[in-house]
Amino acid sequence: MEFNGLLNTSLDLNANPLRILDEEALLPKQESDIKAAVKQERGALMEEINRVSAENKKLKEMLSVMCEDYTDLRNQLMEYTSKNLGLDDHDQKTAPRKRKSESSTGNIVDRTNNANGGPCESSSSDEDSFKKPKEEQVKAKISRVHVRTEASDRTLIVKDGYQWRKYGQKVTRDNPSPRAYFKCSFAPTCPVKKKVQRSIEDQSIVVATYEGEHNHPHPSANSSSNKRLTLGNVPCSSSLSSSCGPTTITLDLTKQKPISPQETRHPLSGKVEASELQQYLVEQMASTLTKDPSFKAALAAAVSGKFIQQK
DNA sequence: CGAGTTTGACCAGCGC
DNA sequence: GCGCTGGTCAAACTCG
């Protein structure tokens, strides 16, 4: 995947000495020592340009390596996902019985036939296969969505367009953040449940786990709001973050930038245009980097360090 | 007043 | 069998 074509990785750090030189060239200077000093400064600045250019090139290379790694990982995920779609039954038969929980491995069970299809649904798991004999044959589809919210926002609200009724909240053992339980209240017969809990690793990320399939149309199918998180009948799950667990998707709700309708589909749904995906990812990466104060600070320190070295 | 939320109690599965 | 834990229930409460 070629991201470089989409990215202008040049860094304008206001370090362009030519502007200064142009101004200086306009000044009438007759003393030869001044000219010599200017010459010397020009040489130093040209050297600085070379250094910055080299650094820029290095950063470009790093970025392209990152992009290649991402592409590799993505391809591996796609292969893994497509392979596993047919392996669920076998895995379940050979697996040991386990407690009903996704906490230890992060795995989430999908015991149905993946009727949602496509690379979005995935994640076979061994657990849960022998327990709950009274459980219905139609076991709920389970998918997981990671949603990035403002860190200061302590509410456990994931706006996915559906209407939810909270029926419980519990503090779990392995996460100090409470877990909220929701039922779909849009249709009385809708069996879908949702669990929402903040990520233990990153409190700004809310993890929403969906169980079941809505038996009614999306309530906001015609409205533009809430479309962003709606990835099909049940919010689509796909992830690069977990190679063997449930597929997940991380969405950044802290950005208010309007998005095009194409972006409402998950990039890995297989139907989205590759160029759109590229652009989306590049925007996400750029946004993340520019928003990161530590990245900015490190960059500023590196650049200022270079200037100080010159003096 | 109805719908939604909160929260303590209860239940069932699991490990020891 | 007991204790721990996650999931659910339902009465009390809040809010529009």
CA distances from A148 to A32, A36, A94, A223 (A): 62, 57, 36, 22
Nucleotide nearest to A101 (CA to C1'): C6
> Which nucleotide is nearest, taking the CA of residue A155 and each C1'?
B5
CA A102 to C1' C12 (Å) is: 32
CA of A123 to C1' of B14 (A): 23
d(CA A47, CA A15): 12
Neighbours of A26 (CB within 10 A): 8
Buried b (16+ CB within 10 A) or exposed e, A156-191: bbbebbbebeeeeeeeeeeeebebbbbbbebeeebe
Q: Which residue is nearest to nucleotide C8 (CA to C1')?
A: A168
Strand B bases near protein CB (under 7 Å) are: 4-9, 13-15
Query: A53 vs A282, which has greater pLDDT?
Result: A53
Q: Which residues contact A191 (CB under 8 A, 6 or more apart)?
A: A140, A184, A212, A213, A215
Q: Any idea which nucleotide's C1' is nearest the CA of A197?
A: C6
SS3 state at A290: helix
Note the pLDDT tens digit of each residue in A173-220. Answer: 778 888 888 888 777 677 788 888 888 777 778 888 888 777 777 765
Structure tokens at A184: 């779909």
Asked if the Cβ of residue A98 lies within 7 A of any atom of strand C, the reply is: no
- pLDDT band per the 50, 70, 90 thresholds, residue A297: low
Looking at residue A149, its pLDDT comes to: 64
Phi/psi-derived region of residue A161, left when phi > 0, alpha when psi is between -120 and 50, beta in every other case = left
Residue A23's pLDDT band (cuts 50, 70, 90): very low
pLDDT, one tens digit per residue, over A90-107 is 333 333 333 333 333 333
Condensed to tens digits (0 to 9), the pLDDT of residues A95-145 reads 333 333 333 333 333 333 333 333 333 333 333 333 333 334 344 566 777
Please report, as a single letter, which amino acid is at residue A290: T
A221-256 pLDDT, tens per residue?
544 433 444 433 344 434 333 333 444 555 555 544
Distance (Å) of CA A220 to CA A84, A171, A226, A257, A304: 32, 31, 7, 20, 51
**Among residues of chain A, what percentage have pLDDT more than 90?**
0
